[in-house]
Structure 1
Amino acid sequence: MKVLLIDDDPVSHLINEKFISIATEDPKLEIITYLKADEALNYTLQYLNSHSSEYLCIFLDLNMPDFNGWDFLNYLEELDDKKLSVFILTSSVSKIDRLKAREYTSVKKFLVKPLSIPLLKNIFPQTKIAS
């Protein structure tokens, strides 16, 4: 199982990694973290090209410097790849952000930080990565 965390806050990575590991209870779980969305996009593109049948779950923060979550989503939208599930994970409570997120086919859910184990247990059965 592969999960990609994209957030410019390293503390969020530590917390979210722990919660995802507990919620999935999957010993094969691989969590990859990125502080910069452009680097995560490069990884995602390479991953999709080299792992054509494997599924990727992405937790994406919107508010990051330079190349932000919206920029990341714009690139993903061009791919229209069904092997991706994006969960927006942000501190934004903006209704405008929620509405905008609905425009992206890869976005499965809009989540407001912080993550919780019960929430994650509800998310992973909905994705193809839960085994």
Structure 2
Amino acid sequence: MKKYKDLDRILLIDDDMATNFIHRKIVENSSIQVDVKAITSAKEALDYLTCSGVYVNNDQVLNAGIIFLDINMPGMNGWDFMEEYKNLDEKKRARIVVVMLTTSLNPDDQATAAKFKDIATYLSKPLNAAAVARIADQYFKEITTE
């Protein structure tokens, strides 16, 4: 299992619980030693990132290193989330890799994702272990233990 500096947790943001379950298992079965947190609403995810709402004074909040974000969710969708995400502290955002993960085949969605400087990449569902490993290798430094 590989361990990466500043990659303690992967945050899954998708309103579909079955998708979150499958993606959690994919991450857990990848070659990366990381905690996985699945959240079913973009609003709750913002609360998590800002330690507000139900996450105030919660010692279980680990810094997310990677966020896999769905576009189409009820209430606050992935684009709305990104608009609010821009308001987070810049230092905090600099330590998080946001990946838009969607079933959308609409080329406009990929073009919209490219307009957000905080979105590192755009992937189609389902997530796979190779993609998780590739993102970790690309954006984080592996911790070697000898």
Place the TM-score, normalised by the shorter chain, in its bin: 0.7 to 0.9
2:32/2:133 contact within 8 Å kept: no
What is the TM-score of this pair, normalised by structure 1? 0.85
Unaligned runs of 5+ in 2: 1-7, 58-62
Equivalent residue, structure 2, for 1:62 = 71
CA distance in 1, matches of 2:31, 2:9: 11
**Correspondences of 1:29-108 after superposition (within 5 Å):** 29-46=34-51, 56-79=65-88, 80=90, 81-108=93-120
Whose helix proportion is higher, 1 or 2? Answer: 1
CA distance in 2, matches of 1:21, 1:94: 30
1:20/1:120 contact within 8 Å kept: yes
CA distance in 1, matches of 2:25, 2:110: 26
CA distance in 1, matches of 2:98, 2:48: 15
CA offsets 1:10-60 (integer angstroms, 9 cap, x no match): 11111111111222331xx2111111110111111229xx9xxx5521000
CA distance in 1, matches of 2:71, 2:114: 14
Q: Percent identity?
A: 31
Q: Which has the larger radius of gyration?
A: 2
Unaligned runs of 5+ in 1: none
Aligned length: 124
